Amino acid sequence: PLTAYLYWQMNFHIEHHMWAAVPFFNLPKLHRAMAFDIPTPLKGYLRGIKLLLTIQKQQHVDPDYCFMPHFPSTSVPPKDISLNYAP
């Protein structure tokens, strides 16, 4: 709670990027309104760092690896897109 406040609620990063004009103090309310359609946020800074390191390790082994988070059953599934932008 204190760290969330100090970081202007950036634990709601997806919401911030989807609607950047929403003030930081309204991000928790926005999160509740759209929770049915976005991945469940990780609980804790260190868990996030651990996930990032795991993804980085996997991408070192397989450069084509692309992490896809688990979406709630109520969400519209993301489209399967190719992230290979090589010409």
pLDDT tens digit string along 28-74? Answer: 899 999 989 888 888 877 898 999 999 999 999 999 998 988 888 88
- Per the CB < 8 A criterion, the answer to whether 83 and 66 are in contact is yes
Helix (H) or strand (E) segment spanning residue 5: helix 2-6
- DSSP label at 26? G
What gap in Å lies between CA 85 and CA 87, rounded to an integer?
Answer: 6
pTM listed for this prediction: 0.62
Mean pLDDT of 69-85: 71
Confidence of residue 85 (pLDDT cuts 50, 70, 90): very low
pLDDT of residue 60: 96
Confidence of residue 87 (pLDDT cuts 50, 70, 90): very low
